[in-house]
Amino acid sequence: MKQKYWVSFIIFLVILSFFVSLASAGWNSSTKVFTPGEGQVVLYDNYCSGEPFLVLGIGETPDLRTIGAPNVQTANWNDRASCLYVGPNTKITVYQHINYGGSSKVFYPGLYCLKSDWWDNSISSCKVDYYYQ
């Protein structure tokens, strides 16, 4: 009986954290930052705020050359990201080349400025997935 209670309690906490993360996700016009929710990653072209930015959800993106964003004139995010903002319970694996080739690196929930990092303007494909600690 106790095990059933704990399983139900854990499921409740997971569902609650999902809805809390959705409520906090979105664009803040005063700070010019898009806060990702669970299962989301934001790529920024210029540092870690402002436009242009691209929001990715759970899934695979084998070629960022074919990906555009509503706030970007061109449909090409290849070698463009200078910052990553990874949402809660989410991870992103980035790759140097299209189709998951070359070097790779995993980023976990948090804000990562790539300006002084080798990965600045070097991401060509990626995989976004859930990550539970």
pLDDT of 84-126, one tens digit each?
A: 999 999 999 999 999 999 999 999 999 999 988 899 999 999 9
Average pLDDT over every residue of 77-82: 92
Give pTM, 2 decimals: 0.75
Please identify which residue in the block is written with the tokens 């989410």.
90
Is 128:58 a contact under the CB 8 Å cutoff?
yes
Q: What is the mean pLDDT of residues 68-96?
A: 85
User: Which of 131, 132, 3, 129 has its CA nearest to residue 61?
Assistant: 129
The single-letter code of the amino acid at 117 is: D
Q: How far apart are CA 61 and CA 97, in angstroms?
A: 11
Across 2-11, 20-29, 56-65, which has the greatest mean pLDDT?
A: 56-65
Give the per-residue pLDDT at 22.
40
How does pLDDT run across 7-50, given as a tens digit for each residue? 565 554 444 344 444 444 566 666 667 789 999 999 988 777 77
Determine the pLDDT at residue 30.
64
Q: What domains lie within the chain, and their CATH numbers?
A: 25-130 (2.60.20.10)
